[in-house]
Chain A
Amino acid sequence: MISELMRIVRLGIKSLLLHKLRSFLTMLGLLFGVAAVIGMLAIGEGASFEALQRIKALGSTNIIIRSQKPPQTQESTSADVFNAVSYGLTYRDADRIASVVREAELVVQVREKPAEMRQGPYWVSSIVLGTEPEFLRVSNMRMREGRWLTPTDLVRQKNVAVLGATLAETLFPLDDPLDQTVRVDADRYRVVGVLDELGRASGSVGPPLDACMFIPLTTSRARFGDETTTTSGGSFSRERVELHEIRVRLREIDQVIPAANVLRTLIDDAHRSQNDVVITVPLELLREAEESKRLWNFMLGCMAGISLLVGGIGIMNVMLATVTERTREIGIRRALGAKKSHIVRQFVVETGVLSAIGGLAGVGVGIGFPFLIERLFGKPTITLPEHVILAFGISAAVGVAFGIYPAWRAANMDPVEALRHE
């Protein structure tokens, strides 16, 4: 049985080699179909993986509430110059959130202040982020060395700082930053710790944390106050923002969506729909990302289906031509004792060989292609084995399905007519 099948397969290969170019071109159809499916799925998978990682890094039980400059005050006229534009989250908001959202495990306040940081000959302008000890937990960051901000630091308004990984690198390219000082304006801060790098996930919402300097919330308030003056293009404007961000962590994932709704109402009431606060719910983003990934996969599936269908039609076309061309051979085989089923088997196997080789080559190209994308564009790609199997399986199925009709035609020829065929 096995040796019989081997023989049919070998015969199939021989017959295909009879028309090398034609067989090759037919295979190309399937090859590109399969390669496109695998390649596109790998790129899509890579892209959505990255997006999902970013969102997950925000914490799926977190809700991030940020101040934003409301659109109507953006075109500030000269009349406003002496009055500070006041917007965004307030300390009262923070208190209210803490008392209304009972399921909150943590409510963390954040103040951001753009500033220049200096250390010896090095300087960089970045953001000084004033916050509370719980920030470390809600931001999913880890210490590389030293310690994080403590309640005592806050109570005593200490001038201590924890540096983000890239900031530490910039200011202290050669030395260990611990116990050294960083200057911001006229103040000196003692470095007590350095954070691990967050990498890609850093700063998808809010400032890039890897480049920030972290100080106690109380220190930030005492040193910088709530008003910021920015000069741009000869004119200057003053803004008053108490808090730039409030992060809320909930205990359970089920509490996230209800809590987000409560927060929205609460913020709307307090800010009279001023549009100066944005609420980001990572869990919602995650759901959206997953939904769009599903949609993307479905679209890919359709495109893949179409390209494989085209490949299949190509195969059928060629096999019909082959059958016509080999009418005489079919007649001979029938005269020598072949049943109809033998003829069907022969041509189906031949189509199968053709599509299997095309499919395998497509798998090869399809696996290689994402590598190339990764090398050239630095985009991550993920080739899942199930996608490879799926693509190959579909191509094989398409090949065989489209081979059946030509084979059936071949088998049902009248042997006498077939033998007379020129």
Chain B
Amino acid sequence: MTETREVIAEFVGVERHYEMGTTIVRALDGVSVRIRRGEYIAIMGRSGSGKSTMLNLLGCLDRPTAGEYVLGGKRVSELSDDELSVLRGKTIGFIFQSFNLIPQLTVLENLEVPLFYQGRVGAESRRKAEQLATRVGLDGRLDHKPMELSGGQQQRVAIARALMNDPLFLLADEATGNLDSRTEAEILSLLDELHGEGVTVVMVTHNERVARHAERTIWLRDGKVERIVENLDRVDTYTGGAHSGVAQPSVGAAGEEAR
């Protein structure tokens, strides 16, 4: 069934080299993968295998040294820095291991940042921020500063922020790496839910238990794709609407599905 879905991002023989003095580190060495709409992908591999490098390339934070990356029909290596920024702002939602909220801004203001850079400020972005805050279970926390929130709550804000621009896909690098196992479960079930509602998710993890939430796992080794595994024993906490889990009964779910 995977094959029928539309390809939204494609790596064709992508390489990323780092020059370290005289030696060249091939962080990625000929990677070809496709990401289809609505997929849930985990990237695994040993430390230094190129997972973060791959994610940064997928997120247009970086450009391939060689090979081709096509995102939303555009060849990334041909874009200028500004065009890359715009593409990133419109199509990608980042979730980081260390949450990466801007400390001096309130939750609401953090949520509004992505739309601000698209020139979308005012009532629309505020409404959307409130809606997504509710969606991730952060009602009534909009005026708090990140420091006043727990790690799990901060990651929820980050997830809501990643969804503000209705991205083509979410990119998560060790999104649960800084959380205890209970909170990890909560965040994973939130991601499961979002995936269930149609959001494409690509996440990097070290943890097989975490990876089992994804439909496919891409294993990297020394910058190459070692194998791609369909997760037959997949854990999915998504129950298609109001369900148990930790996330609030999804008030904003209807809006998300309408996308």
Cα distance A255–B102 in the bound complex, in angstroms = 75
Asked if B213 lies at the interface with its beta carbon under 8 angstroms from chain A, I say no
Assuming A7-B116, A337-B90, A338-B85, is B61 touching A416 (CB within 8 A)? Answer: yes
A416 close to B96 (CB less than 8 A): no
**A337 is contacted by which of B81, B86, B101, B122 (Cβ under 8 Å)?**
B86
- Give chain B residues whose Cβ lies under 8 Å from the Cβ of A415: 61-62
Asked if B154 lies at the interface with its beta carbon under 8 angstroms from chain A, I say no
Interface string of B31-65 (1 = CB under 8 A from A): 00000000000000000000000001001011000
Cα distance A4–B119 in the bound complex, in angstroms = 8
Interface string of A1-29 (1 = CB under 8 A from B): 00110010001001101100000000000
Asked if A336 lies at the interface with its beta carbon under 8 angstroms from chain B, I say yes
A342 close to B117 (CB less than 8 A): yes
Instruction: Pick from A3, A14, A15, A332 the residue with the most CB of B within 10 Å.
Output: A332
Instruction: Pick from A4, A333, A419 the residue with the most CB of B within 10 Å.
Output: A419
> Closest chain A residue to B116 by CB distance?
A7
Interface hits, B140-170 → A, CB 8 Å:
161, 165
Assuming A415-B61, A416-B61, A416-B62, is B114 touching A336 (CB within 8 A)? Answer: yes
Assuming A339-B81, A419-B96, is B116 touching A332 (CB within 8 A)? Answer: no
- Give chain A residues whose Cβ lies under 8 Å from the Cβ of B113: 332-333, 336
Cα distance A325–B102 in the bound complex, in angstroms = 12
Asked if A335 lies at the interface with its beta carbon under 8 angstroms from chain B, I say yes
A419 close to B100 (CB less than 8 A): yes
Asked if A334 lies at the interface with its beta carbon under 8 angstroms from chain B, I say yes
**B59 is contacted by which of A11, A328, A335, A341 (Cβ under 8 Å)?**
A335
Asked if B195 lies at the interface with its beta carbon under 8 angstroms from chain A, I say no
Cα distance A11–B104 in the bound complex, in angstroms = 9
Asked if A340 lies at the interface with its beta carbon under 8 angstroms from chain B, I say yes
> Closest chain B residue to A422 by CB distance?
B98
Instruction: Pick from B86, B94, B104, B114 the residue with the most CB of A within 10 Å.
Output: B104
B119 close to A337 (CB less than 8 A): no
Cα distance A26–B62 in the bound complex, in angstroms = 36
Assuming A419-B61, A419-B96, is B102 touching A337 (CB within 8 A)? Answer: no
> Closest chain B residue to A329 by CB distance?
B102
Asked if B12 lies at the interface with its beta carbon under 8 angstroms from chain A, I say no
**A339 is contacted by which of B56, B82, B101, B102 (Cβ under 8 Å)?**
B82
> Distance in Å from the Cβ of A245 to the closest Cβ of chain B?
75
Interface hits, A378-422 → B, CB 8 Å:
415-416, 419
Asked if B118 lies at the interface with its beta carbon under 8 angstroms from chain A, I say yes
> Distance in Å from the Cβ of A127 to the closest Cβ of chain B?
75
Interface string of A172-205 (1 = CB under 8 A from B): 0000000000000000000000000000000000
A335 close to B121 (CB less than 8 A): no
Asked if B105 lies at the interface with its beta carbon under 8 angstroms from chain A, I say yes
Interface string of A215-250 (1 = CB under 8 A from B): 000000000000000000000000000000000000
Interface hits, B220-234 → A, CB 8 Å:
none
> Distance in Å from the Cβ of A410 to the closest Cβ of chain B?
14
A14 close to B104 (CB less than 8 A): yes
Assuming A339-B117, A342-B117, is B85 touching A334 (CB within 8 A)? Answer: yes
Cα distance A3–B114 in the bound complex, in angstroms = 16
A337 close to B165 (CB less than 8 A): yes
- Give chain B residues whose Cβ lies under 8 Å from the Cβ of A15: 104
A340 close to B116 (CB less than 8 A): no
B104 close to A335 (CB less than 8 A): no
Asked if B88 lies at the interface with its beta carbon under 8 angstroms from chain A, I say yes
Assuming A7-B121, A342-B117, A419-B100, is B105 touching A336 (CB within 8 A)? Answer: no
> Closest chain A residue to B85 by CB distance?
A339
Cα distance A341–B82 in the bound complex, in angstroms = 9
Asked if B196 lies at the interface with its beta carbon under 8 angstroms from chain A, I say no
Assuming A416-B61, A416-B62, A419-B61, is B122 touching A336 (CB within 8 A)? Answer: no
Assuming A335-B94, A337-B165, is B114 touching A416 (CB within 8 A)? Answer: no
Cα distance A14–B82 in the bound complex, in angstroms = 27
A337 close to B85 (CB less than 8 A): yes
Interface hits, B62-110 → A, CB 8 Å:
62, 81-82, 85-86, 88-90, 94, 96, 100-105
- Give chain B residues whose Cβ lies under 8 Å from the Cβ of A332: 100-102, 113
A4 close to B114 (CB less than 8 A): no
Cα distance A339–B90 in the bound complex, in angstroms = 12
> Distance in Å from the Cβ of B106 to the closest Cβ of chain A?
9
Cα distance A154–B101 in the bound complex, in angstroms = 97
Interface hits, B4-27 → A, CB 8 Å:
none
> Distance in Å from the Cβ of A72 to the closest Cβ of chain B?
81
> Distance in Å from the Cβ of A3 to the closest Cβ of chain B?
6
- Give chain B residues whose Cβ lies under 8 Å from the Cβ of A341: 82
Cα distance A366–B138 in the bound complex, in angstroms = 50
A337 close to B104 (CB less than 8 A): no
Cα distance A14–B85 in the bound complex, in angstroms = 25
A337 close to B88 (CB less than 8 A): yes
A4 close to B121 (CB less than 8 A): yes
B114 close to A337 (CB less than 8 A): yes
A340 close to B81 (CB less than 8 A): yes
Can you give 13 contacting A-B residue pairs, CB < 8 Å? A3-B121, A4-B121, A7-B116, A7-B121, A15-B104, A18-B103, A18-B104, A331-B100, A334-B61, A335-B88, A337-B86, A342-B117, A419-B96
Q: Which residues of A contact B (CB under 8 A)?
A: 3-4, 7, 11, 14-15, 17-18, 328-329, 331-342, 415-416, 419
The 4 closest A-B pairs by CB, nearest first: A337-B89, A337-B117, A339-B85, A336-B114
Q: Which residues of B contact A (CB under 8 A)?
A: 56, 59, 61-62, 81-82, 85-86, 88-90, 94, 96, 100-105, 113-114, 116-119, 121-122, 161, 165
13 more A-B contacts (CB under 8 A) besides A332-B113, A335-B100? A3-B121, A3-B122, A7-B116, A334-B61, A335-B94, A337-B89, A337-B117, A338-B89, A338-B117, A339-B82, A340-B82, A341-B82, A415-B61
